[in-house]
Each structure stands twice: as structure tokens, then as C-alpha cells.
Amino acid sequence: MSIFIEPFFTFLKTPIFWILIFLMILSVWSNRQMPKWRGSWGERQVNRLLTQLGPEYKVWHDVYVWNKEYGMTQIDHLVVSPYGLHVIETKHYSGWIFGSERQKYWTQVIYKKKQRMYNPIRQNYGHVQAIKNYLRDNELNTYSIIAFSPSVEFKFKEPFKTAKVVHFNELITVI
């Protein structure tokens, strides 16, 4: 029995063992951080696009607003224009996106792997309501926009009535 145990304990003392442990921990940590990094990258892309708007447009990023129901809510981008207030939710996804306006969850499909996501139209509706409540103006002209990265292919069966769902490169035109 000691023939197998002794070499194992010897291996535990080698630098290669500790390098492997470090790489495993790093892999787990980075996989958990990946959605956050991808989201930040997508928001930075939209930030750059929004700088193309003219001087009559005022743009804010990462706006936190108090929401009576759920506490603080974070709005990715807020654009004040001569036409009203544009509330933009950024989604840096890839693959196919399926869903409808009223569904609670949408589906992302990448290589036959399905993943569920909260309907971003519903999510942004909460942002719009929060900003209207904060400003105490229910008559405020607001536009809900969901901006997806270009690597997404939309598979929607019907157009949306309460929000615009577009790719990043269509954002300036929609505003």
C-alpha cells in the first residue's frame, strides 16, 4: 500500500502540483467572472457609439435609480434627447435569441445549448417606471431600447410594441 501512497505525497510537494491547483482555481474563478466581463465590454461598446450623438443629446451611463418595489435599479444608458428619454439596456450575447414581448423568459441558443434569460423588455420596463417615478413625471416621453451585440441572431415571430430590440450598430438610428 505504501508503494502508491508515498509517490502521491511526493507529488504533492512538487511545484507542478501547485501550479495545476492554481490553474484550476483560476479557471473556476474566470468562468464565474466571464458574464460580468462580457457585459462590461458590451456596455463600453455602446458608450462609444453614443458619443456619436450630437450636442443636443445628453448621455449618462450606469445610472442608479431608487425603485419603490425592488430597491435600487441600474440603468445601463440614459439618453435625453429633443424627442424624449431613451432608456437603454445592453445585452452582450451571442447565438440565437427566441422570445416574445409578454414572455417572462427568453431563450438563448448556442450550438444546441439552451440558456434561459429574464426578458430584457420586462427588465427595461422596470427601469423606465423607476425613472418616471424618480422624476415624478408619468407623462414623460420615454423609449425603451434593448441593444444586443451583433453576434446575436434574432428569432422573434412578431414585432414588439413597447420596446425596440436592436443590434448595437442600429442604436444611433433608432434614437
**Could you read off the pLDDT of 2-24 as tens digits, one per residue?**
566 666 666 667 777 777 777 77
Cell reading at 167: 443590434
Beta bridge partners of 86: 79, 143
- Rounded Cα distance between 62 and 43, Å, is 9
Q: Read off the pLDDT band of 67 (50, 70, 90).
A: confident
Of all helices (H) and strands (E), which one includes residue 79?
strand 71-81
pLDDT tens digits, 69-90 = 768 899 999 999 999 999 999 9
The count of C-alpha atoms lying within 13 angstroms of the C-alpha of 131, restricted to the half-sphere facing its C-beta, is: 27
- The reported pTM is 0.75
